Amino acid sequence: MMSKTENGASGIPLLEFSKKYDESQARCYFEKHGKGFGRRLSNWRETVMMRKSLKLAGNPKTVLDLPSGTGRFWEMLAEYPDREIYAADYSFDMLIRGLHMRPEHVTRRIRPFRCSAFSIPLGDGAVESVFCARLLHHIGEREDRLAMLKEMARVASQSVCVSLWIDGNYKARRRRKLEARRRKKRYQNRFVVERQVIEEGFRQAGLKPIGRIDFMKFYSMWSTYVLRKVF
Ligand SMILES: C[S@@+](CC[C@H](N)C(=O)[O-])C[C@H]1O[C@@H](n2cnc3c(N)ncnc32)[C@H](O)[C@@H]1O
């Protein structure tokens, strides 16, 4: 029950889940977060969390949104008129959908490029902050998470904001029970990480937590860490 890591043609690790974001998936993903009251509410709450995380990080002037997906947070990121916004994703289709569907006054602020979070084509400290929403909960292997975190820490000059699923709440306990029943499933692409484990990963990547914002304390698995780069 693991996320599969293989090496792509370029030698950069390629995860099974990374292959699924084709054109039709991109269309579904774009539409999904605006559908129904529950989803719209959770999208709003997540945006509030991510805005707060950037505030804790000192409202950085240059941000890399990775993976940006279809640009769910671009409007929020663009609230600061002088912020430079880089947006990267492994899926070209996700990026294109976002660039076509988001408002033009927002997309003209975006500098998009395709890349893997394992290998970001930017120099050391190229952006003040890396903003990473909904990626790490797809990464089942500790080494893969660490490799990505190290790469984000390399590119950030000051901070990294990451959202992921953590334990210590009602939903995580419920999920654990569900997973125990589903043991035979060949492949899993979403994972809850123990706080202790991820916080040790941050430390190894040279990142120090300076804040944590929970989606809904004691209930939800979603949490965003604000991490300061340690020199
Ligand atoms: C659940 S979506 C999250 C997108 C966006 N952050 C959001 O919250 O709406 C996950 C994204 O990760 C991207 N992705 C998958 N593997 C990746 C990798 N190795 N490097 C960078 N992006 C990756 C996918 O293409 C997809 O757009």
70 Cα: distance to centroid of ligand 1 (angstroms) = 9
What whole-number percentage of the chain has pLDDT above 70? Answer: 96
- The residue contributing the CA closest to ligand 1 atom 1 is 134
Q: For CA atoms 196, 192, 131, 219, give the dihedral sign.
A: negative
Question: Which pLDDT belongs to residue 36?
Answer: 93
Q: pTM score, two decimals?
A: 0.95
Task: Give the pairing of strands 13-15 and 5-7.
Answer: antiparallel
- 148 close to ligand 1 (CB < 6 Angstrom): no
**Low-confidence residues in the chain, pLDDT < 50:** 1-2
**Secondary structure of residue 214 in the 3-state scheme:** strand
How far is the centre of ligand 1, averaged over its atoms, from the C-alpha of 89 (Å)? 6
Select the CATH number that applies to the domain covering 5-229 from these four: 3.40.50.720, 3.50.50.60, 3.40.50.150, 3.40.50.920: 3.40.50.150
The answer, yes or no, to whether any atom of ligand 1 lies below 6 A from the CB of 26, is no
For ligand 1, is residue 116 a contact (CB within 6 Å)? yes
pLDDT digits (tens, 9 = 90+) for 97-140: 999 999 999 999 999 999 999 999 999 999 999 999 999 999 99
Q: Which atom of ligand 1 is nearest to the CA of 33?
A: 9
Which of 225, 8, 224 minimizes the C-alpha distance to 117?
8
Phi, psi at 220, each rounded to 5°:
-90, 155
Task: Give the number of the atom of ligand 1 that is nearest the alpha carbon of residue 89.
Answer: 22
Please tell me the predicted confidence (pLDDT) of residue 2: 42
Strand partners, 40: none
Token readout for 160 is 């990294």
Q: State the DSSP code for 138.
A: G
Dist. CA 216–CA 231, nearest whole Å: 32
Residue 116 C-alpha to ligand 1 middle, in angstroms?
Answer: 9
Q: CB pairs under 8 A, 24+ apart, for 108-111? A: 109/74, 109/78, 109/83, 109/85, 110/71, 110/74, 110/85, 110/86, 111/84, 111/85, 111/86, 111/87
Any ligand 1 atom below 6 A from CB of 63: no
Residue type, 4: K
Region for residue 59 given its phi and psi (left: phi exceeds 0; alpha: psi -120 to 50; beta: otherwise): left
Best of 7, 10, 16, 18 to mutate for ligand 1, by most ligand atoms within 8 A of CB? 18
Pocket perturbation via mutation, ligand 1, pick of 89, 141, 191 by most ligand atoms within 8 A of CB: 89
State in Å: Cα 68 to ligand 1 middle. Answer: 6
CB of 117 sitting under 6 A from ligand 1 = yes
Q: How far apart are CA 11 and CA 180, in angstroms?
A: 34
Domain layout of the chain by residue ranges: 5-229
Query: How far is Cα 104 from Cα 120, in angstroms, rounded to an integer?
Result: 26
